[in-house]
Amino acid sequence: MPITTLYDLEQKLSELSHSDAAIVEVRSFSEQLGNTQARINVLNADNAMVRAPITPEQTRALGFRSVEDDFTLVQGDIVSTESAYFLGERIASRPKYVVLNSSCDLVPNRREFGSLLRVKPITKMEERAKEKLNLLLRFKKSASMYLPPFPSDAADVWCNAIDFDGICQIRSESLLLASRIASLTLVGWRIFASFSRTVVARANPRECEMRIAIERPPASTTP
C-alpha cells in the first residue's frame, strides 16, 4: 500500500529505525563461532573486517566516475590525524579514528566539518585485557566495536576498539589530509553502520511508548 499520511509513514519507520535487530544478528554470528580463537581466526583474517584503503583509482576502473564518486575518503576509513578535537581539546600522539560521515558528505567542498570516532588499541599487558578482548569479539559492548590489529600497530596490540562514546570533530580540509590506514570491508562497514545507527541514535523502547501515550491518548470512556 502506498504511504499517504504521516501516520502511515510513522508505522513504516517503526519497522526500520531505532532497531537493534542488526546487532543481535552480529552477536548471534559471533556466538556460533564457538570460542575466542575461532572468532579471532575469522575476524582477523585478511580482508575480513578491514582491507587496504579503497582508492579512487580502483573505483574509477570499476566505472564509478560521477561527481559523487570523487572521494578522498569513504565512510569507515581508519585514519590517523592530529587535527581532530574531542570536547574542545586537540588529541596528539598520532591517534587513530574511524570516519563516521557518509561518503557522499566527504566529497571535497561538500561539508565544512567531519565527524570521527576514536579507535583505541587494546594491548596484551593492560588491565583486564583478556576480558575486554572477549567482550569485543562477541560484540557484547554496545558502545564499542571490534577491529583487528593494523599492520602498523605495535606487536603488543591484541585488537582495536571503535569507541562510540563521544564524537570528535575535524575540519573537512584537515580530514582530507589525514593518513589513511585501512578501509572497512563490506561486511565490516555493514557492522559499523549497524552500531552507528543503534548506538549513536538509539531509542529506548519506553521512549516510543511515552510518545504514543502523549500523542495518542486513549479514547474517553465517559458516556
pLDDT tens, position by position, 148-168:
999 999 999 999 999 999 999
Residue 210 in grid coordinates: 511515552
pTM given for the model: 0.85
pLDDT at residue 6 in the model? 72
Residue 186 in grid coordinates: 563490506
Residue 222 has pLDDT above 70, yes or no: no
pLDDT at residue 141 in the model? 85
Looking at residue 145, the DSSP 8-state letter turns out to be E
Residue 95 has pLDDT above 80, yes or no: yes
What is the CA angle 82-59-16, rounded to 5? Answer: 80
Per-residue pLDDT reduced to its tens digit, 26-83: 999 999 998 999 999 999 999 999 999 999 899 889 988 887 777 888 999 999 999 9
Residue ranges and CATH numbers for the domains of the chain are: 17-212 (2.30.30.110)
Rounded Cα distance between 13 and 72, Å, is 33
pLDDT at residue 223 in the model? 53
- Alpha helices by DSSP H, the chain: 6-14, 21-32, 36-43, 56-61, 129-137, 172-175, 186-195, 205-215
Per-residue pLDDT reduced to its tens digit, 189-206: 999 988 888 887 777 778
Rounded Cα distance between 172 and 166, Å, is 18
Rounded Cα distance between 99 and 77, Å, is 5
Residue 18 has pLDDT above 70, yes or no: no
Rounded Cα distance between 82 and 74, Å, is 19
Average pLDDT value over all residues in the chain: 88
β-pair partners for 79? 97, 180
